[in-house]
Amino acid sequence: MSLSRRPRRAVLLNTGGPVETLVNRIPGYGPGVDAAPVLRLRNLPVNERPGEVLVARLDFGPGVLNGMTPLPVPATDDREFAATGG
The Cα 22–Cα 44 span in angstroms is 13
CA angle 63, 54, 51 (to 5 degrees): 165
Residue-range domain boundaries for the chain:
1-61
- For the chain, 86 residues long, give each residue's pLDDT as a single digit of tens: 467 788 999 999 999 999 999 998 877 666 666 777 888 999 999 999 999 999 999 998 887 777 666 656 666 655 555 555 55
pTM of this structure: 0.63
